[in-house]
Amino acid sequence: MTIDTNTVVSMTEANQNFSKVTRIADQYGRAVVFKNNAPRYLVIQFAIADQVEDAAKSEVLASASKMMDLYDDAFKELAK
């Protein structure tokens, strides 16, 4: 995942000024909270979370369908 430097907030700053984190999430769609110089938390708008969840479900179903097609013969043999 590519992280926009405008969306980065330290854990200390997030603890002291959470409204800044929400403003960043409102402006950019997400805020990334760093702890010990590493991305630790992702704060996103609720509407975006629903879209991400729906996209993830679609990707999982598509991958499962590909696997079923790829190994169809093996699954049929196991089903006997």
Indicate whether 36 pLDDT > 90.
yes
> Any alpha helices (H) in the chain, and if so which ranges?
11-16, 18-28, 46-70, 72-79
Q: What is the mean pLDDT of residues 2-22?
A: 94
Q: What's the pLDDT at 41?
A: 95
Quick one: pLDDT band at residue 21, thresholds 50, 70, 90? very high
Q: What's the pLDDT at 19?
A: 96
Quick one: pLDDT band at residue 76, thresholds 50, 70, 90? confident
Task: Give the mean pLDDT of the chain.
Answer: 87
Task: Give the integer Cα–Cα distance in Å for 63 and 37.
Answer: 34
Between the alpha carbon of residue 63 and those of residues 60, 66, 74, 76, the distances in Å are 5, 5, 17, 19
